[in-house]
Copies of this chain bind each other. A is one copy, B any other.
Amino acid sequence: MGLQTRITELLGIEHPIIQGGMMWVGRAELAAAVSNAGGLGIVTALTQPTPDDLRREIERCRTLTDKPFGVNLTILPSVSPPPYAEYRRAIIDSGVTIVETAGYKPQEHVDEFKAHGIKVLHKCTAVRHALSAERMGVDAISIDGFECAGHPGEDDIPGLVLIPAAADRVTIPMIASGGIADGRGLAAALALGADGVNMGTRFCATVEAPIHQSVKQFIVDNDERATNLIFRKFKNTGRVAKNSVSDKVLEISAQPDSQFEDIRPLVSGAKGRVALETGDIDAGLVWAGQCQGLIHDIPTCADLIARMMADAEAIITRRLAGMVSR
């Protein structure tokens, strides 16, 4: 059994399920576990402190799986940006065949990856950005709805509308991202016009995710309402789990004259990493999407993907087909 789509064909994977790039979480253990389970695991480039560390992490992932996996490169505007060209070179030199890009002005990176025969999935949060990426020559769009963890953009369009709106205009294969955590979401995304799904929060609550057990349990315990949208005031909205840190960020941001400098100490990536690695939930920001309300356990990636596939197939061949009358 299985589901064959334009995405499984494009990427040479068994199941149309992709583990999205995630800071501090997208390491070789998780990426390899997802790929071994028939999905596409993704190593997050900037989680590695240097391009040489990324080379070693890719090599390590290759020792853990002989299936395809990808690397995420997220390009964010910064006064002191990481050496993107050197990370890109590490990806290309390592023989990686699939890259997920995200963020601003990826053209230079897309060109360079494509010149080396690498398949590029570009993640974006709006139809106009998807069309722009399609024109840049990417191979597939990952369209990320308002429900997602991380940066949903400023338009606030959820997947139920965003996926079909994008499908009306985009011609290349499309991956639905945000709000998906089970076989129901997978079947729905395919019905809406996507060719596969991307999941982040759901993969955080798996045995293989390299984060503290308490964080996994925190996600399981949270319901769909337990997220906060931060940084809206600064036009860089991010969805994180509700905790004392994100509550404080909202409280400070609500003061009319507050500046980003006032919250900067709270929101450092280093503190978020401490939360993930020590399980001290209130040590920093913990990124999580609304689909945590659909997450009730901590399975292995293999069990999760097998269950999602069985559920999606049962929805298609039994639930939905059973409703159709002649």
Contacts and interface: CB of A to CB of B under 8 A. Distances in A.
Interface of A: 1-5, 126-127, 145-147, 155-162, 164-165, 167-168, 178-180, 182, 184-185, 187-193, 223-225, 229, 256, 290-291, 293-294, 313, 315-317, 319-321, 323-326
B293 A161 contact: yes
Contacts of A192: 184-185, 188
A290 B158 CA distance: 9
A209 B293 CA distance: 37
Contact of A4 (B2, B155, B323): B323
Nearest to A154: B225
A202 B192 CA distance: 17
B323 A157 contact: no
Contacts of A184: 164, 167, 191-193
Given A3-B325, A127-B224, A320-B320, 19 more contacts: A1-B325, A1-B326, A2-B325, A155-B224, A155-B225, A160-B180, A160-B185, A161-B179, A161-B294, A165-B224, A165-B293, A167-B184, A185-B192, A191-B315, A191-B319, A316-B321, A316-B323, A317-B321, A321-B321
Contacts of A162: 224
6 contacts: A127-B223, A146-B156, A158-B159, A164-B182, A167-B184, A320-B320
A192 B293 CA distance: 14
Contacts of A191: 184, 187-188, 191, 315-316, 319-320
Contacts of A320: 187, 190-191, 316, 320
B256 A168 contact: no
Given A2-B325, A225-B157, A323-B3, A164 B193 contact: no
In the A-B complex, the 10 residue pairs with the smallest Cβ-Cβ separation, listed nearest first, are A158-B158, A188-B188, A160-B179, A187-B191, A188-B191, A316-B320, A159-B160, A3-B323, A161-B290, A165-B293
Contacts of A160: 145, 147, 158-160, 178-180, 185, 188
Contacts of A326: 1
Contacts of A294: 161, 164-165, 168
Per assembly, the copies of the chain total 2
Contacts of A2: 324-325
Q: Which of A4, A161, A321 has the most CB of B within 10 A?
A: A161
A320 to B, nearest CB: 4
Contacts of A290: 157-158, 161
Given A3-B323, A325-B3, A158 B145 contact: yes
Contacts of A223: 127, 165
Contacts of A161: 147, 179, 224, 290-291, 293-294
A229 B154 CA distance: 13
Contact of A316 (B145, B159, B229, B324): B324
A324 B319 contact: no
Q: Which of A155, A290, A321 has the most CB of B within 10 A?
A: A290
A180 B158 CA distance: 12
A273 B163 CA distance: 32
